[in-house]
Amino acid sequence: MNNSSAYDEQIYSMYVEEHMAMNKIAKELNISVGKVYNRLKFMNITSKAIKDYPTSEKVISHITALGRARKGRKVSAETKAKQSQAMFKGGIGHKKIRNDGYVSIYFPEHPKSNKDGYIMEHILVMECSIGRHLNDDEVVHHKNHNRADNRLKNLQLMTFKEHAALHMKERYEKRRNDISTK
C-alpha cells in the first residue's frame, strides 16, 4: 500500500462524514492542502463550496446581534433604493461604473463586449444613434471629458486618428496656458 492511499480512508471520513474543511484535514494529518485536494479528486469526490459547510455558532451569533442592532430603525426611501440596487445581481442591461469612470453595461451578445460580457455605455448610445456598429477605427469622444456623461449631445463620433489629434491639441493648449499664467 503506498503512502498516498494510506490517508484515503481518513481523508474520506473527515471530509465527507465529519464535514471538515481541507485545510483542517491537512493540519490534522500533517500533510499539504494540495495533497488532500488531490486525494479527494483521485477518489472522485467533488470539492465543496463554502455554503456547503455548516455555519459556525460564532457567525450565527454575529448575524443575530446585527439583526437586533438594526431592529426598529426607520430606513429612508433613498437607503431602501440603495439596498435594493445592492441586492440586484444583474442581467441584460445591468450597469456598473468602472474604476476609470466609464459606465459599462452587461450585454454579452454584443460583438465588442469584453470577456465578462460588458460593453461601454457610450458605444451603445452612439451605435443606437447611427444605426450600426462602430467600425474598428472609430471611437466615441466625451466632449465634456466626463466619462459617465453618456448623453448623445455630449458624445462625438471620431476616427481614432482624429481623437488622438484632438487630445494632443488639448494637452498642448493646456501646457501653453500653464506657461503663460506663470
CA dihedral 72, 76, 77, 80 (to 10 degrees): -60
pLDDT digits 0-9 by tens, 13-54: 888 888 888 888 888 998 888 888 888 888 888 877 766 666
DSSP class of residue 34 equals H
Alpha-carbon span 78 to 101, nearest angstrom:
23
pLDDT digits 0-9 by tens, 68-125: 776 777 778 887 776 666 555 556 677 889 999 999 988 888 888 888 888 999 999 9
pLDDT digits 0-9 by tens, 86-100: 555 556 677 889 999
Strand-strand pairing, 138-142 and 155-159: antiparallel
pTM for the predicted model, two decimal places: 0.50
Residue 61 CB neighbours (<10 A): 10
Does residue 1 carry a pLDDT above 90?
no
Does residue 144 carry a pLDDT above 80?
yes
